[in-house]
Chains A and B, each alone.
Chain A
Amino acid sequence: MRLRQLILSLLIVLAVLAGLYLSSTASASLTLKHYLIVVAGFAALMLLQSRQSASEAEEIRSESTDQQLDSLERDFDALLNILNEEFSAQIQSTQNELDQLRAMLNDAIQKLIGSFTGMESTTRHQHDLVIQLTSQQASGHDPNVTNHGGQESITFEDFLQDTTQTLNMFVDNTIDSSKLGMELVTKMDEINLEMDKIRKILNEVEGIASQTNLLALNAAIEAARAGEAGRGFAVVADEVRKLSLRSSEFSNEIRSHMGDVTDSVSKAEDVIHKISSKDMNFALQSKQRVGDMVARVQDINATMKTVVQELAIATDKVEHDVHTAVTSMQFQDLASQLITHSMSRQQALQQILSGIVAIDTAHLDQQNRAAHWHYKLEEARALIERTRHNPVKQVNVDAGDIELF
């Protein structure tokens, strides 16, 4: 083509030169001018023709480019579709996994909260029980503690004091009994002394009686010797003898009774012996036992004091641990929100991708195609903006700030 144009250009140049030459000569005739015009016209025609054929060639060229572009677009569309399918599958899998994670956290936290509140309640109950136990011990010391329904709540101390008092009373009783007993035996000794005095007197009485008996015998003999004159006397002597015999009998009776009394007194003394002779070791042992108990109670009280102190420390620690647990367990809410946010970002990605894939510009021309793409890009950008805000900035479960307006 270019050769043609070159030849034509040359011809035009020749024609112009020839024309110039001829016009320069005076003998310019009509035929030359006409010849020049014809040549110029021919040259122009030749140029036009070559132009036409050049644009024709171009048309043929752009037709095949269009075809190439179309095929390229179709390939691109196909690629996008494949990409979309792949990404969608990946995003869907990730969404499923995130959803699974969110559900697992939800389930786990409920179980955790359940066992935590259960444990806390039990701990508080145990604490109350210990307080009850230790305050029961302490209430004995507090004069302001009111007793319910008239029933005295006895503490160990009260009981030990009672026991000591009872023991003292028992010891006093024993000694008082013994003292009385000793007084009684003194009296009995006095009785025995009196009895001895009486026996002495009885001896004398018996002596008198036997002497009287002898005298009466003598008198009777003398009376018999005196015969009739002594008969009256003999009767009297006889009576006197009878009296002295009776006197001896009485004396024996008295002795016998006194023997009974002495026996009774002796028996009584034996009884008093038993009553008054109490071994005091029981009291010593009791006192020892009470003393041991008191010491043990003091130990218990000391232990209780320690327990109460330790309980206070433990209670503080538990309270602190409970606070930490409550703060930390809120991790599930934060994690859940982060997961939800992540899922919404992925959804946005999915939407953008689907949007792009759905673009159908085959029916649009160049200008509208560009506008359409622009519009789609703006849509995507807006979507990204909406999902940009992450509601959870925390990186740990330290307690957050508090501000009062």
Chain B
Amino acid sequence: MQITSRTLNNEATLSLAGRFDFNTHRDFRNTYEAVLKTGGINKLTIDLGGVDYLDSSALGMLLLLNEKAGAANIKIVLANGQPNVRQILEIANFHKLFNIS
């Protein structure tokens, strides 16, 4: 999966494309840890527009991200999910934990 990050003012965006699964765990973690480390961020958007597949490991990773972001008072937004991705987020009750747009 390809991950690109962008920061504007105090909002950062991570754009993901491809299969969001176990194999991406290192890259994903490294990228968001780098973003969190820079500081001054109060909102982090995960753009899922290019994600065509999402499994439980991806959900696990997002939960870990949520914990870390929560500890740093950063709001997480999961954006642009394709229909199948949105369905999975819904069935995992992620709308209770994240802003989903």
Contact = CB atoms under 8 A, between A and B. Distances in A.
Q: Give yes or no for direct A-B contact (beta carbon below 8 Å).
A: yes
B56 A278 contact: yes
Interface residues of A, number: 24
B54 A181 contact: no
Interface string A154-194: 00000000000000100110110111111101100100000
Interface string B59-71: 1110110000000
For the complex, would chain B's binding face be called helix, strand, loop or mixed by DSSP majority?
helix
Interface string B40-82: 0000000000000011110111011000000000000000000
Contact of A280 (B25, B54, B63, B93): B54
Given A178-B60, A284-B87, A185 B25 contact: yes
Contacts of B84: 284
A50 B98 CA distance: 162
B26 A280 contact: no
B97 to A, nearest CB: 11
Nearest to B26: A189
Contact of B60 (A168, A182, A283, A287): A182
A287 B57 CA distance: 20
23 contacts: A168-B93, A171-B92, A175-B56, A175-B63, A178-B59, A179-B59, A179-B60, A179-B64, A181-B57, A185-B22, A185-B25, A273-B22, A273-B57, A276-B56, A276-B60, A278-B55, A278-B56, A278-B57, A279-B55, A280-B55, A283-B92, A284-B84, A284-B87
Which 3 residue pairs of A and B lie closest in terms of their CB atoms, listed nearest first? A178-B60, A179-B60, A278-B56
Interface of B: 21-22, 25-26, 29, 54-57, 59-61, 63-64, 84, 87-88, 91-93
Interface of A: 168, 171-172, 174-175, 177-183, 185-186, 189, 273, 276-280, 283-284, 287
